[in-house]
Amino acid sequence: MHQIDTSKVLNVAILTISDTRNKDDDRSGQAIQSLLQSNDHAIIDYKIVKDEHSLIQDEIQNWVESTKVQVIILNGGTGFSPRDVTYEAVSQLLDKQMDGFGELFRMLSYEEIGPKALFSRAVAGSKSSTAIYALPGSTNAVKLALEKLILPTMSHFADELVKK
Cβ-contact 148, 110 below 8 angstroms: no
**Residue ranges of the domains in the chain?**
11-161
Architecture of domain 11-161: 3-Layer(aba) Sandwich (3.40)
User: Rounded to the nearest 5 degrees, what angle is found at the Cα of 107, between the Cα atoms of 101 and 157?
Assistant: 20
Predicted confidence (pLDDT) per residue in 20-64, tens digit: 999 999 999 999 999 999 999 999 999 999 999 999 999 999 999
d(CA 146, CA 46): 16
Predicted confidence (pLDDT) per residue in 80-108, tens digit: 999 999 999 999 999 999 999 999 999 99
Cβ-contact 129, 161 below 8 angstroms: yes
Cβ-contact 92, 60 below 8 angstroms: no
Nearest to 6, CA basis, from 45, 28, 35 = 35
d(CA 99, CA 30): 27
Flag whether pLDDT at 4 surpasses 60.
Answer: no
